[in-house]
Structure 1
Amino acid sequence: MHRRVWSKIGGLGAVLALAALAGCDDAAEDATVPPASGAALGSGEGPPPIPVMGPERTIIAFGDSLFAGYNLDPRDSYPEKLENALRAKGINAEIVNAGVSGDTTAAGLQRLEFTLAAMEQPPALFILELGGNDLLRGLSPEETKANLGKMLTILQREGVPVLLMGMRSPPNYGPEFQAQFDALYRDLAQEYGADLIPFWLEEIYQEPELFQSDRIHPTAEGIERLVAATLDEVEEALPPPDAG
């Protein structure tokens, strides 16, 4: 399959553990990529595949190591698996994996306009998944919200629909911090008219066997579960081909 990948796997992971998130460190940068698992959504016996139809719809998956596919075969990353799942439903989707391991919202803001400028035309949908590494680095919820708000302002100005992937703060950060962080995604989605998945790891965060040994990054099976759990919401956020 044709493929455009923004970044290679490796680097500092995003934050999520405990009942929601936790940190990871730079020692993960040298982790090796295991052989391909061969797992794919829709494999095995079943009804014949739905033919892919309509114009190609480009989606940018913009995030950190959770999108980059840390310590997984590239074919097992969330953007890759999501593309396969959308195409299995007959949607002519191409997903650009713009996940960069270790990115905070500040780093994402710095590269956002360059990412958009590199596209031949605006994407049909922009999936924004950042904020976990802000927790790791001790950034305040106010700073995280401000950076995400600036990104949403740019995307709104460019007329690009956005699906915001929400995260959660672990309870050990304290109730005040937790309440501020957990609310910022909802508040931003309402302010900028973005679609929202309130906590996109909801499906697996209570199942440690679906995370790698670092208890931060999903396994290939965990990614498959996340794709299955979020597929309908991604499809709903994707405007029809004749929109705009």
Structure 2
Amino acid sequence: MAEPRPSRRALFAVPLFLAAGPVLAQPAPRQPGPRGAPGPRIVTLLGDSITAGYGLPAQAALPAQLQAALARLGANVLVRGAGVSGDTTAGGLARVDFSVRKDTDVAVVALGANDLLQGLDPRRTRANLDGIVRKLKGRGFGVVLVGIDAPAQIGGGYARDFNAVFPAVARAHGVTLYPNLLDGVARRPALNQADGIHPNARGAAIIAARLAPVVAKALAARR
């Protein structure tokens, strides 16, 4: 007998992205450098509430924090947020073609937490992520796939199957995997907002600092 999917009550007890109202960060245009020098390279964050900057001013949200972290590594980069609060991988697949603009150099795909929140079948999550990565690679973009850890307490079998999705997709498409978006931040009250779910400014800074070297490496591989 297949193991039952985790209940919504169980899932709300673990730190995941809350399905708030839709918020889509408006992409900034690429600006030319001074005196004809090359403009910044473009990184687009395709995601849900964390990339939408839920509960944070724009300058403290992940896109701005990642841009600052990349600048500290010496990268001339513009980071665009393309996050919709409450978005699942199915939602990301439906909008990937218009949410990731054609001047993108590297797309960071940070989706799946709301699939977990809703107890969706990991096979559907994998199919949707396969579709997203296939579309992005088909347009010539570099891709960093970002995972999210399912806590074992929601059901060991479900958590195992869900957690296996991200490395499987990364291997299948030969893209870079960042295993857990909330590494170092989840379940740490000082790094999260009052809802206990969304990172606060300090938490977003930690995520950005850990993610930046991975994104910088993906950018360097495309020179």
Aligned to 1:68: 52
Say which of 166, 176, 180 aligns to 1:199.
Answer: 180
Provide the C-alpha distance between the structure 2 equivalents of 1:23 and 1:195, rounded to a whole number of angstroms: 23
* Structure 1 residue 29, shift from structure 2 partner: 3.8
* Distance (Å, rounded) in 1 between the aligned partners of 2:78 and 2:104: 10
Cα displacement (A) at 1:226: 1.3
Preserved CA contact (<8 Å) 2:193 2:199 = yes
Q: For 1:224 and 1:159, locate their aligned partners in 2 and report how far apart those are by CA, in whole Å.
A: 29
Checking the alignment, whether the CA contact within 8 Å between 1:60 and 1:95 is kept in structure 2 is yes
Query: Deviation at 1:23?
Result: 6.1
Provide the aligned length of Structure 1 versus Structure 2.
199
Q: Does 1:162 align with 2:136?
A: no
From the two aligned structures, give the one with the greater helix fraction: 2
Query: Contact conserved, 1:17 with 1:170, CA < 8 A, in 2?
Result: no
Query: AA paired with 2:107?
Result: F
Assess if the C-alpha contact under 8 Å between 1:54 and 1:92 holds in 2.
no
Offset, 1:54:
5.4
Q: Distance in 2 between matches of 1:62 and 1:16?
A: 23
Deviation at 1:240, TM superposition (A): 5.2
1:69–1:77 Cα contact (<8 Å) kept: yes
Deviating 4+ runs (over 4 angstroms)? none
RMSD of equivalent CA atoms:
2.1
1:221 has 2:208 as partner: no
What is the match of residue 101 of structure 1?
Answer: 85
**CA separation of 1:76/1:122 partners in 2, compared to 1, >3 Å: closer, same or farther?**
same
* SS at 2:76 equivalent: strand
Question: What are the ranges of 5 or more consecutive residues in structure 2 without an aligned counterpart?
Answer: 1-10, 23-36
- C-alpha contact 1:82 1:231 (8 A) present in aligned 2: yes
Partner Cα separation in structure 1 for residue 74 and residue 92 of structure 2: 31
SS in 1 for 2:40: strand
Q: 2:213: which partner in 1?
A: 232
- Structure 1 residue corresponding to 2:170, chosen from 175, 189, 195: 189
Find the residue that maps to 2:18 and give its secondary structure. coil
Question: Percent same amino acid among aligned pairs?
Answer: 35
Shift of 1:145: 0.6
Deviation readout 1:108-137 (Å, 9 max, x if unpaired): 111011224xx3x44110000000011222
Question: Does the 8 Å contact 1:83/1:93 carry over to 2?
Answer: yes
Which residue is equivalent to 1:89?
A: 73
Q: Which 5+ residue runs of structure 1 have no aligned equivalent?
A: 1-14, 31-52
